[in-house]
Structure 1
Amino acid sequence: MKVNYFFLLLALLAEIIGTVGGFGSSVFFVPLGNFYFDFYSVLGMTAIFHLSSNLSKIFFFKKGLDKMLLLYICLPSVLFVIIGGFLSKLVQTATLEIVLGIFLVVFSLLFLIKSEIVVLPKKKNAVIGGTLSGFSAGLLGTGGAIRGLTLAAFNLEKSAFIATSAFIDFLIDFSRTFVYYSNGYIGKQELTYLPFLLVIGFVGTYLGKKILFYIPQGIFRKLSLVLILLIGLATLAQLIVKYSY
């Protein structure tokens, strides 16, 4: 099977930007992957890609894991990513793609216009954030943006933020990989890309960490939101063309 190397380059860029911006690579990887593969294949690849990506983040940013947040965010995330993963098989692909595009546009515009929006650092909000991010990750392939917003409320140090988010995300991806496999989302095509995505996960995280040292995260966060907006608009434009014929 022929490998699309331009797609792999985009995957590397998604990992670098996701690491520095703090949103995670899936918010970029999923919509970009949809330009090359069907939605279910992208879900399968995302789970595989993220296992490597998050292991590398835990390795490079291993200091300062917040055990309290792991408990309150991780448990509902793992439960609801399984639920979302199974529901993804019951919902039409077109509907999932449209919801994803709308989610990207609304999320980016909301935080570009209302940058002062914050989540209060309460245990209840941690559980709600974990629930929503897990369900979104299972159904749409991306939940890092919601989890990042939830974690930001607790004012973690930069490395602790990335490490804690990565540890939660790793358990989410580990859980949904089995669900996606049972759904038939991970087959020969997806496994062909496995070794490439594993390497990209580590290389992209390493480069992202280096960039994070020189560029303030706040500046890169705004750039990331603009990119998310553009990708969301491109996703919706593609769907209009795709389903209008």
Structure 2
Amino acid sequence: MERYYLFYALALMAEIIGTISGFGSSILFVPIASLFFDFKVVLGITAIFHVFSNLSKIYLFRKGIDKQIAFKMGLPAIVFVIIGALLTNLFPQRELELMMGLLVFLLAIYLLLHQKSTIAQTNGNLIKGGVISGFLAGLVGTGGAIRGLTLTAFGLEKDIFIATSALIDLGVDSSRAIVYTLNGYVHQEMLLTIPFLLAISFVGTWIGKLLLNKISQQLFKRLVLWLIMLTSLGQIAVQLYKLIAPHVNA
């Protein structure tokens, strides 16, 4: 039971940070959850948690949603998250975990080095951002950074940015949650966590919204990216140890 208390505390931290950073909590939640659960279980629990998280953001940041952007980016994201989720059965679990850690680490470095750069405001880039973020979300559990990078180019106001991103992510997470459930990633043990994750998603989003009004978002994003990078490095080290240890012991 103590393991769950720590998991819930870290999940709350991930939700607060995900709200403030604008990338969503999956980029931090997935590495955290991987410390407590099997990777395929992590995919299932992340999808369920994010459905609650996105609903909380849509409610608390309900000043406006850019429906055109949400549709142009969200539709390809939903299609490709299903493709990515279906492909999870074709790849070995440990390699997926290592790939996910490397991906998150590289994304964090890229975002740290290119904080002021943006992409062109085109429909093509919206579609590409939806395809890539959706596919990565389905395959390795996190695509929020790609979605955040794409939406940043359109200069949306803070509340509209978060609500629009959450609406896109709601379609993505609902779709992959169905595929993960059919694949058997949602176990009975996970059902016990749902009430707690529901409460954590709302409380974490609410706290994040309060902090957004008091903290420089640009400075906080840098701190968040460093934390994400360190977390992913730790996960890479764990997975490399799991790959190497059997050969050493032999």
| 1:169 counterpart residue number | 169
Q: What is the rounded CA distance, in whole Å, between the counterparts of 1:100 and 1:154 in structure 2?
A: 28
Q: What is the rounded CA distance, in whole Å, between the counterparts of 2:242 and 2:12 in structure 1?
A: 26
Q: What is the rounded CA distance, in whole Å, between the counterparts of 2:45 and 2:210 in structure 1?
A: 26
| 2:205 counterpart residue number | 205
Q: Could you tell me which amino acid in structure 2 is paired with residue 171 of structure 1?
A: G
CA contact (8 A) 2:98 2:240 kept: no
Q: Could you tell me which amino acid in structure 2 is paired with residue 169 of structure 1?
A: D
Q: Could you tell me which amino acid in structure 1 is paired with residue 105 of structure 2?
A: V
| 1:12 counterpart residue number | 12
| 1:188 counterpart residue number | 188
Q: Cα offset for 1:113?
A: 2.1
| 1:219 counterpart residue number | 219
Q: What is the rounded CA distance, in whole Å, between the counterparts of 1:13 and 1:116 in structure 2?
A: 26
Structural RMSD (CA): 1.1
Q: Cα offset for 1:114?
A: 2.7
Q: Cα offset for 1:82?
A: 0.5
Q: Please give the residue correspondences for 1:1-245 in structure 2 after superposition, counting only pairs within 5 Å.
A: 4-245=4-245
In the TM superposition, what whole-angstrom CA distance separates every residue of 1:136-179 from its partner, at most 9, and x where no partner exists?
11001111111010100100000000000000101111111110
5+ long unaligned stretches in structure 2 = 246-250
In the TM superposition, what whole-angstrom CA distance separates every residue of 1:70-121 from its partner, at most 9, and x where no partner exists?
1110000000000000001111111111111111111111121232331111
Q: Could you tell me which amino acid in structure 2 is paired with residue 16 of structure 1?
A: I
Q: Could you tell me which amino acid in structure 1 is paired with residue 217 of structure 2?
A: Q
Q: What is the rounded CA distance, in whole Å, between the counterparts of 1:10 and 1:242 in structure 2?
A: 23
**Corresponding pairs, count:** 245
Q: What is the rounded CA distance, in whole Å, between the counterparts of 1:219 and 1:2 in structure 2?
A: 33
Q: What is the rounded CA distance, in whole Å, between the counterparts of 1:31 and 1:112 in structure 2?
A: 19
SS class of match (1:58): helix
TM-score of the aligned structures, taking structure 2 as reference length:
0.95
In the TM superposition, what whole-angstrom CA distance separates every residue of 1:196-216 from its partner, at most 9, and x where no partner exists?
111100010000000111002
Q: Could you tell me which amino acid in structure 1 is paired with residue 122 of structure 2?
A: K
Q: What is the rounded CA distance, in whole Å, between the counterparts of 1:76 and 1:149 in structure 2?
A: 16
CA contact (8 A) 2:47 2:176 kept: yes
Q: Cα offset for 1:243?
A: 1.7
SS class of match (2:200): helix
Q: What is the rounded CA distance, in whole Å, between the counterparts of 2:207 and 2:13 in structure 1?
A: 10
CA contact (8 A) 1:111 1:117 kept: no
Q: Could you tell me which amino acid in structure 1 is paired with residue 131 of structure 2?
A: T
Q: What is the rounded CA distance, in whole Å, between the counterparts of 1:117 and 1:102 in structure 2?
A: 22
Q: What is the rounded CA distance, in whole Å, between the counterparts of 2:123 and 2:148 in structure 1?
A: 15
Q: Could you tell me which amino acid in structure 2 is paired with residue 5 of structure 1?
A: Y
Question: Percent identity at matched positions?
Answer: 49
Change (3 A) 1:3 1:192: farther
In the TM superposition, what whole-angstrom CA distance separates every residue of 1:176-195 from its partner, at most 9, and x where no partner exists?
11100000000111111111
5+ long unaligned stretches in structure 1 = none
